Each structure stands twice: as structure tokens, then as C-alpha cells.
Amino acid sequence: MNPLDAHLLPPGLRARIVPGVNGLAVHVLEAGEAGRPCILLLHGFPELAFSWRKVMPALAEAGYHVVAPDLRGYGRTTGWTAGYDEPLAPFQMLNMVRDQLALLDAMGIAQVHLLAGHDYGSPVAAWCALIRPDVFRRVALMSSPFAGPPARNPPRGENVHAGLAALDPPRKHYQWYYAERRAAGDMDNPPQGLHAFLRAYYHHKSADWPGNQPFPLSGWTAGELAKLPDYYVMPLRATMPEAVAPFLPPGEAPWLTDAELAVYAAEYARTGFAGGLQSYRCNTGGANAADLVLFAGRRIEVPAIFLAGASDWGIHQFPGALARMQAEACADFRGAHLIPGAGHWVQQEQPERVVARLLAFAAPASAK
């Protein structure tokens, strides 16, 4: 697999393949000189290392070596398979942490000055920082709050999925849909075409859609979850392409041009979505919790912040997680920052404000 062509990247970014990474050949984007303090950026779903393109040059100009990989299951990183009946172990959280440590070893980086993760990259970053604080010295969690390790004996609540299905109109949670056998095929071959599907999906979760006016939910109940938009709590019988199709905007967004969207569409047309969906299956099926419960009671000890778009429902999709992150999960929490003018894709919608927050949180680049 070749790295992304240079003409697809902003000036100052370079792409390469790093072999020998926990069984993977990892596609990375880089900016800044090797040997400088490292900033490691982990993307979410359905994104790529490419989602960091707007913040990497400015972070490099501030004196950092900035690295953004395509995670296992995504983009031009190879060495993974994602058949529905294949073992999930390679996509479980502890192995995702192992991927990041192996990447650093392969690149000759002993320590990460600042680790930032967005969307699914946020819990990966959180677990990296919790398990190896000696390597990951500070962490910025973005758009997905980290509520801490699972409890050894979690309380039993209502069967929220049965409750959602019983609503009028009936609904279902998108993460459980993503864990279904059909989900990858639904998104690999959307009836409206891949470009239009992704355009609608990204728009629907951005600040551009006026319906994104989030507020806290009181609990993990069907009645409260039903207040979330359709891209989180979907119509029961809809596929994700069907759920977002009514929200296709009339044209491109200033923060995501058609040329930029074409990069995502081309990569997902080649790989499909199954690799990214495997991580959802690890969560909803309990595979992650079976390992992570061993860390019950542990906290992130390194300095931590949270960044999200002010129009991002993702900060409230798991009721109480935002508060638990600040009060319990992080021992040295330095603040939650909700960025105006951004929805879920905060580093793409408002890159300058994200850069300013990250640089204010980071120690001087000269500090190791």
C-alpha cells in the first residue's frame, strides 16, 4: 500500500508507511521534525488520519513533531482483516493501546508529549494514558467523554433496547446497529452513493445542522435517549444511510470541501467500513469490558482536558459520562472546553480554536 499522494495534503504534511507495528504496516501523516517533542493524534469513526490535516501544520510550527496514524481497521494501514465471523481480539481496546506503543517503538519515539484522541480515538487515548502514564504525559480527550474503567459489579438498569423498540415511533441505538452483521454492507453500498452518504452523515453531526442543540440527559433510559437525533438513536428499521439521507445539504461545507470529502469516499470505497465497526462490536458485546474491568478504580493520573464542539450531542450520548470524567476518571483534570461553531467534527470545523486549546494545554515544546 502506498501512502496518500502529497497533492492531497496541505503544505507541511508528509505521509509514509511504518512497517512492523504489532502485525500492521501503519500509514501515518507527519508534520514537524523528528526528535522534537511528539504530539500523537488518534482519529475516530468514520474518519482517518486525514481528519487532522488542518491542525497538524500549526502544531508543527509551534515546535512539535506531529504524528497521526490511520488506526487499525482504517485507511492505508494494512495487516488487519475484519470479517464478521473472525476473532475480535485484534480490535479490543488493550490491543489498540498496544498498537500505539508499537508505533512509537517503530518510529523511535520514547515518549509522547501530548496525546489527543477524537471520537473513538478518545477512549483509545484515555486508555493509553491510564495504562502507560510514563509514555503518554498528557492527554486531550475530544468529543467522547471518558467515564473511567467499567465497574466490577455494574448496577442493572432497564432493558433500554427493548424500551427504544417499544417507542412510537420505534428506535434503536446506533452502536448496537453498528454491531449487526448487515451494518458494514449497508454503508459500503448506500443507495445514494458513498459521497452523498458521507456528506449527509458529516453534515447531520456538524454545527451546520440547526437541530444540533445538545443538553444533558438525565439517565440511560429509553425515554431520555429518544431525545437524541436520529444519527444516535435511529429509526428502528432504518439503515444509517437511510437515517441521514433526509439531511443531505445542498452543497459542500467550507470546513469539508467536495475535494476533501472525496479523499474519505475513496478510502472507504476501497476498505469498506467493517474495520471501523469491529471496535463497536468489542464494546457492545462486552469483549472490552471483560479485560478493562481489571482496571476498576484506576484513574488517568496525567494532566487531562476535554474538547468538543458546543453543538456536539456526543458529549451527552452516555448520560453522566461528562461529569464522571471530570470528577472521578481523571485525577488531574484541567478543564472542559466546548468550542462554539463546531459540532462533532471539531478539529475540522474549528481547527484554529482546537490548535489554540491544545497549545495552551501543552507544556512548552522545549520541555520533555
Catalytic center residues: 119, 344
Let me know if 21 is exposed, middle or buried by CB neighbors in 10 A (0-12, 13-18, 19+).
Answer: buried
Task: Write out the three cell numbers for 360.
Answer: 495552551
Q: How far apart are CA 239 and CA 320, in angstroms?
A: 28
CA distances from 174 to 75, 177, 242, 285 (A): 22, 5, 13, 14
Nearest of 225, 114, 111, 99 to residue 172 by alpha carbon? 225
Helix, strand or coil for residue 202?
helix
Measure the CA angle with vertex 1, ends 95 and 280; round to 5°.
35
